[in-house]
């Protein structure tokens, strides 16, 4: 028996496997493939204060070992989420991490205030400070660390809920941003969001995405995500990190645990294999059994340096 | 819906441009209807990473057949598969074409690789007229593939190398102009390039005839999660993988011309 339980401050997860926001729907979309109660938690697709129509088509395109997306945070808004989605997770006792995005600091605060009223049904909040696909409030607007800190402080005032700040790898000095986020009141970090990329159809000479550019995800970005998780955990070992970026197999999950990740968010792999999250969980368990690792504590952050010759 | 690994039974060229892959699946063949699709993971590993959606072409007992054209990396790898190779197949997915039409006459308008799902529909449920348009005779299906249904089939090719020269939508217009029937008597179902279907919808709208189009958009998940394959309906952006791919003409918000 392998003990996969993962403790983060006051939070108890039965295992470290969760799903990345936007890749698992907002309610029970994958319930016919996955028993949600077997996952450490579910991170729902980003909720905004008001419904969003999202971007024009085409919104996605495949690229080597991954995909670009410019969905544009299409969602039905906070009121629908509270009324129609939260009760599902509560009823089935599924640990729910709610990902929110505001177009302004005030909107972030309002979202947090409203969700705080449903605190009992919510395990944590994840602040989407890094969506590349919206004009206001996305990567472009939140380039400045000051704005990130301001947003986190505003949310912190509204709720005692555990806060993960989801940071972009494009924020310049990620270590400095991570430190700032923690100073401003974030309890944990989520690393990484997609990285902006582009593809062009050479015959029409049009960008493959109507939005021009989009967020790159999938195995193509995994080494980059791993490096960020590793560096941030080296610098801030006590700050919990949700790792995401191309995690597709159990081996990938183990790699991120060794780098120090606390939780593992399976993202684009869900689109290819709806059972990916459970397959990854089983893969981690199998690895631990084979390696005679009884508890993830023995694995997490336990990177072995090369011997100097 | 099922997701299973199946062995390829047969994979061969059926004309100058199209291929047909077959595999056996009791589960996938059981409830499938014309217009639905499967998501195929063509190759293990990370590149290509996503599955590819394919419409069902035909079911023969437990044998599933899919007709495809090489359009990129995924389909070219699919064409390399041989008997005994395995693929991961998820389906049946999506909303199918309406089947019984009461007293209405079913008119089918297919373009290019959009023809196969309509052949499946015609074979199972019959049709009144079947208009098939392709670029040239290279894409015309051999008669061994188009049989077992009683309908008049009319061909057009853009280069005039087979059937009438010109666009297939011209054939539809000519029929409707000639018959001058009660629009209530007809129902049009179409599958093909989006621009062709837009024209079909425009003609249908002009004649007051209802119908359905199988809309083709790039997909990632195929099950309504990624919101990548959206179609603009009167409800706003709607995922074509779960709410479609078959939409009623009057559900869609299309700007003609």
CATH number at A166 reads 3.20.20.70
Tokens 């000095």 -> residue: A173
Q: What is the band of A142 on the pLDDT scale with cuts at 50, 70, 90? A: low
Domain of residue A229, residue span: 6-298
Q: Catalytic site residue A131? A: yes
The span from the CA of A68 to the CA of A155, in Å, is 30
Domains of chain B and CATH, by start: 2-93 (2.40.30.10), 105-214 (3.40.50.80)
Give a yes or no: residue A194 inside a domain.
yes
> What is the pLDDT at residue B6?
97
Give a yes or no: residue A309 inside a domain.
no
Q: Which residues of B touch A71 (CB under 8 A)?
A: 226-228
The span from the CA of A40 to the CA of A13, in Å, is 5
Give a yes or no: residue A62 inside a domain.
yes
Q: What's the pTM value of the predicted model, to 2 decimals?
A: 0.95
User: Mean pLDDT lowest for which of A144-148, A254-258, B242-246?
Assistant: A144-148
> What is the pLDDT at residue A134?
57
What is the tens place of the pLDDT at every residue in A74-133?
A: 999 999 999 999 999 999 999 999 999 998 899 999 999 999 999 999 999 999 998 766
Degrees, nearest 5: CA angle B149-B152-B157? 110
The span from the CA of B86 to the CA of B100, in Å, is 36
Domain count, chain A: 1
Arithmetic mean of pLDDT, A221-236: 98
Averaged confidence pLDDT in chain B:
94
Q: SS3 for A67?
A: strand
> What is the pLDDT at residue A49?
97
Is A60 close to B3, i.e. CB distance below 8 A?
no
The span from the CA of A119 to the CA of A121, in Å, is 5
Give a yes or no: residue A154 inside a domain.
yes
Arithmetic mean of pLDDT, A269-288: 98
Phi, psi for residue A214 in degrees, rounded to 5: -155, -175
Arithmetic mean of pLDDT, A260-276: 98
Q: Which residues of B touch A248 (CB under 8 A)?
A: 46
Q: What is the band of A304 on the pLDDT scale with cuts at 50, 70, 90? A: very high
Sheet of strand B52-55, all strands in order from the earlier edge strand to the far edge: B52-55, B37-41, B86-93, B2-13, B18-24, B63-69, B58-60
Q: Which residues of A touch B50 (CB under 8 A)?
A: 62, 67, 271-272
Residue B35: pLDDT over 50: yes
Candidate list A96, A121, A131, A134, residue with the active-site label: A131
The span from the CA of A179 to the CA of A289, in Å, is 36
Give a yes or no: residue A246 inside a domain.
yes
Q: What is the band of A31 on the pLDDT scale with cuts at 50, 70, 90? A: very high
B236 touches chain A (CB under 8 A): yes
> Are β-strands B37-41 and B86-93 bridged in parallel, bridged antiparallel, or unpaired?
antiparallel
Q: Residue B21, exposed/middle/buried by CB under 10 A (0-12, 13-18, 19+)? A: buried
A249 touches chain B (CB under 8 A): no
Give a yes or no: residue A126 inside a domain.
yes
What is the tens place of the pLDDT at every residue in B89-132?
A: 999 999 999 997 888 999 999 999 999 999 999 999 999 999 99
> What is the pLDDT at residue A147?
86
> What is the pLDDT at residue B101?
81
Give a yes or no: residue A308 inside a domain.
no
- E-state strands within A145-300: 162-166, 188-191, 195-197, 200-201, 206-207, 214-217, 241-244, 263-266
Residue A138: pLDDT over 60: no
Q: What is the band of B39 on the pLDDT scale with cuts at 50, 70, 90? A: very high
Helix (H) or strand (E) holding A279: helix A276-290
Percent residues over pLDDT 90 in chain A: 90
DSSP assignment string, B190-226: EES-HHHHHHHHHHHHHHT-EEEEE-----SSSSSSS
Give a yes or no: residue A305 inside a domain.
no
The span from the CA of B73 to the CA of A220, in Å, is 17
Q: What is the band of A258 on the pLDDT scale with cuts at 50, 70, 90? A: very high
Q: What is the band of B31 on the pLDDT scale with cuts at 50, 70, 90? A: confident
Within 34-93 of A, beta carbons closer than 8 Å to B belong to 53-54, 57-62, 64-67, 69, 71, 74
Arithmetic mean of pLDDT, A242-251: 98
Residue A136: pLDDT over 60: no
> What is the pLDDT at residue A172?
79
> What is the pLDDT at residue B257?
47
Residue B16: pLDDT over 70: yes
């Amino acid at each position: 028996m392998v003990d996969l339980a993962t403790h983060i401050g006051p939070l108890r997860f039965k295992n470290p496997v969760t799903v990345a926001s936007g890749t698992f729907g907002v309610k029970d979309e994958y319930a016919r493939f996955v028993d949600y109660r077997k996952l450490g938690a579910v991170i729902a697709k980003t909720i905004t204060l008001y419904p969003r129509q999202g971007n024009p088509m085409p919104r996605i395109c495949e690229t080597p070992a991954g995909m670009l997306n410019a969905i544009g945070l299409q969602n039905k808004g906070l009121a629908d989420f509270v009324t129609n989605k939260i009760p599902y997770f509560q009823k089935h006792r599924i640990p729910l991490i709610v990902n929110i995005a505001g177009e302004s600091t005030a909107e972030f605060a309002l979202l947090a205030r409203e969700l705080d009223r449903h605190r009992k049904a919510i395990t944590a909040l994840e602040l989407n400070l890094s969506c590349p696909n919206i004009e206001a409030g996305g990567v472009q607007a939140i380039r400045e660390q000051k704005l990130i800190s301001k947003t986190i402080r505003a949310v912190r005032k509204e709720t005692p809920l555990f806060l993960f700040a989801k940071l972009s790898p494009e924020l310049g000095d990620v270590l400095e941003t991570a430190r700032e986020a923690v100073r401003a009141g974030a309890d944990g970090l989520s690393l990484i969001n997609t990285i902006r990329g582009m593809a062009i159809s050479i015959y029409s000479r049009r960008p493959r995405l109507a939005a021009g550019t989009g967020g790159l995800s999938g195995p193509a970005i995994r080494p980059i995500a791993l490096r960020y998780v590793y560096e941030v955990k080296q610098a801030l070992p006590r700050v919990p990190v949700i790792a995401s970026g191309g995690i597709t197999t159990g081996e990938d999950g183990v790699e991120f645990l060794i780098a120090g990740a606390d939780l593992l968010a399976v993202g684009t792999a869900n689109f290819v294999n709806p059972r990916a999250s459970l397959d990854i969980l089983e893969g981690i368990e199998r690895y631990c059994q084979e390696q005679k690792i009884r508890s993830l504590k023995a694995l997490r952050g336990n990177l072995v340096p090369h011997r100097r010759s | 819906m099922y997701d299973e690994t199946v062995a390829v039974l047969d994979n061969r060229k059926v004309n100058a441009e199209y291929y047909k892959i077959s595999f056996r699946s009791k589960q996938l063949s059981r409830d499938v209807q014309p217009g639905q699709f499967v998501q195929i993971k063509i190759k293990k590993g990370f590149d290509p990473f996503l599955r590819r959606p394919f419409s069902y072409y035909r079911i023969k007992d437990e044998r599933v057949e899919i007709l495809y054209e090489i359009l990129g990396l995924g389909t070219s790898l699919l064409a390399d598969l041989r008997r005994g190779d395995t693929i991961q197949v998820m389906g049946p997915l999506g909303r199918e074409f309406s089947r019984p039409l009461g007293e209405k006459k079913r008119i089918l308008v297919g373009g290019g690789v959009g023809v196969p799902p309509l052949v499946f529909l015609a074979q199972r449920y019959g049709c009144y007229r079947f208009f098939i348009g392709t670029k040239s005779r290279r894409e015309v299906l051999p008669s061994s593939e188009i049989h077992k249904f009683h309908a008049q089939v009319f061909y057009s090719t853009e280069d005039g190398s087979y059937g009438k020269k010109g666009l297939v939508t011209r054939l539809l217009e000519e029929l409707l102009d000639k018959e001058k029937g009660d629009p209530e008597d007809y129902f049009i179902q179409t599958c093909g390039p989006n621009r062709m279907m837009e024209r079909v919808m425009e003609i249908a709208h002009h004649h007051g005839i209802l119908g359905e189009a199988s809309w083709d958009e790039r997909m990632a998940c195929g099950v309504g999660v990624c919101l990548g394959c959206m179609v603009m309906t009167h409800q706003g952006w709607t995922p074509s993988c779960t709410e479609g791919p078959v939409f009623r003409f009057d559900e869609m918000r299309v700007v003609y011309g």
